[in-house]
Amino acid sequence: MKPIEITELDHIVLNVRDIDRSLSFYTYVLGLKGERVQEFEEGKVGFPSVRINEHTIIDLFPIKGADGRKESVEKAEGNLNHFCLVVGKEDFAGIVDYLKGHNVSIHQGPISRWGARGRATSVYFLDPDGNEVEIRCY
């Protein structure tokens, strides 16, 4: 029997405490396009998403009963170590100052790391729910 062939990543799902805060972070700070936001607000769908590219999205799944706010963000516990987003050289050139300008603290980097296409330079930071995000440039 021939093994299956995985061809791409379709989506990841992040548990979030505050949908509005997370949507703002992923759309305003990281520049991703919100999807199904109106349908979520109207109660027609269970969660909104943000689009990375034509093939990949991040679903923002509301945690039931969450209080919505934390005084300081700490890395979330769970199965997800981090996820990585790729940007071009132009956007990466000022990424540290850009993130700091949006009150996002850099956890690590810039640093050279291995990835799907070989060596790249990366920075690491936390989203509003403590999920570690890596932005890299090849």
Tens of pLDDT, residue by residue over 26-81, are: 999 999 999 999 999 999 999 999 999 998 999 999 887 655 444 456 766 776 87
How large is the average pLDDT for residues 80-92? 89
Output the pTM of the full model.
0.77
Question: Which residues of the chain are in CATH 3.10.180.10 domains?
Answer: 8-66, 80-138
Q: What is the per-residue pLDDT for 53?
A: 92
What whole-number percentage of the chain has pLDDT above 90? 61
Q: What is the per-residue pLDDT for 35?
A: 95
CB 106 within 8 A of CB 82: no
Domain 80-138: give its CATH code: 3.10.180.10
Mean model confidence pLDDT for the chain: 87
Sign of CA dihedral 95, 97, 101, 103: positive
The separation between the first and the last C-alpha atoms of the chain, rounded to the nearest angstrom, is: 37
Name the CATH topology of 8-66. Answer: 2,3-Dihydroxybiphenyl 1,2-Dioxygenase; domain 1 (3.10.180)
Element (H, E) at 106: strand 106-115
pLDDT band at 133 (very low <50, low <70, confident <90, very high): very high
3-state secondary structure of 46: coil
How large is the average pLDDT for residues 89-105? 91
Q: What is the per-residue pLDDT for 72?
A: 58
Inter-CA distances, 33 with 36, 37, 75, 97, 103, Å: 10, 10, 25, 22, 21
How large is the average pLDDT for residues 11-35? 94
